[in-house]
Structure 1
Amino acid sequence: MQLHIIRGYIQHIYLIADQGGLLLLDGCSRADVTAVCRFIQQQLNRPLSDLKLVLVTHMHPDHAGGAHKLRRLTGANIACHPKAQYWYGGFMGRCAHLIDVSLTWWVAKRLGKPKRHIWYNPILKPDLLLEDGQRLPGFPDWQIIYTPGHTDHDVSVLHQPSRQLYIADLIVSVKKRLVPPYPVCHPNQYKQSLQRVASLKPAKLYFAHLPARVADTIDFDDILSQAPTLPKNHWHSTRNRILHTLGRQTRQH
């Protein structure tokens, strides 16, 4: 197994070369599709058809935005958790999708990146639905670990022989401190997922927005202590701001 790390628009892209072909550990953003294809053809000197599987860990723009286009260009299958295809469903889901695309541009601006085309279909059309414990088709050394909390459908993926684990957005960094991501839509599930990752005792952890780290250098208890007790997402933040403003106006009168 060979792991290749490609610098993405706002995240790390992990491309696996295995005996089953090429595996992409996340669907990246639409802005990353050209870079992935160029890497396969120019750096690995392989045809695009060697990309066999694109795993979507969750539906946010930098993890799912390139999946459909990559499938069109390469013929690869798309795999995700069964709940992923419903995340942006309905009117509220479409609103959330607009917000998440805007947040991606905001992050890109903070990183000094230009605004790029990242719009994608918010309703994923997967070829394969994978649940907790299942092995990736064609890549039996890789196992799905269901790690919800950030959304209701997040998955991580474990390379069993080497005990290396990709956890996408389960942990991020703010001011050089490891912290929970934003949003945390399901706080209790998030804490359980973090505890589960710790209990797996992986040799090494890979993140979407951080360099890889040896797992035993991570203070999971400190991250758990920062996890919210109530949902921390767009809707709750907006509601809380409205309630705070109304309360302040009431006190003034």
Structure 2
Amino acid sequence: MTYFADLTSRQVAALHGDARVPVLLLPLGAVEPHGPHAPLGTDQLISRGMCERAAARLAADRDVHVVILPELPYGVTRFAGDFPGTVSIGEETLHTLLIDVCGALISQGFPHILLVNNHFEPAHLSTLRRVVETTESLHGKRIGHLDLVRRRYAERLTDEFRSGACHAGRYETSLVLADRPELVDTETMRRLPEVPVDLPAAMRAGAQGFLDMGMTDAYCGAPAEATTEEGQDTFTVLTELLVEAIRELGSTS
């Protein structure tokens, strides 16, 4: 498994001599509360877990060489602002940072960059989509973005994910249990009642934060139903989606 930041400068240069196309994965997320039971870094933990599993899956691939970039843990996360631990950055900050990072890599001959994100606040997502558009405009290169809320991806994920009640619920908590179980307070998790909030619908209706939505403990869905097994199964699907995106991006000029 290749981590970009672990390489020397000469090793980075040597990637150009590889017959395989280097595809650089950038894990993204946010630092925000995920209920009283799951870690603040849940989103980037899931993104990183996807990247590592995809890199392992493609380790012997003849066409692509997967390289994992240092993760960017901060994102636009205003809806969780009423709770301790929320660290939000602005849309323009995120946009400028990602444009600069991608531009630096493209200028060195690494145009195959794939954004891997698991933080789904609308302002965050719209910024990532704008990063893709701006990069193409500035450099003539369209980087990749595995946009999991798009229907063609979401329909392959769990019922809770599709319901919109998936912030620190069964879906996300299961993924953390599968990857870093020591970070989940399972005693607290088992006592949490289901909170059936459709996040996208509540946002469209004008809710300004988790408290407005009735998420008094910064979660929705059913975390008490989370299992390691479901997390492993979901990671398998997420990895398949990412591998498909990597192959698609690696085949572009």
TM over 0.5: no
Structure richer in helix, relative to its length: 2
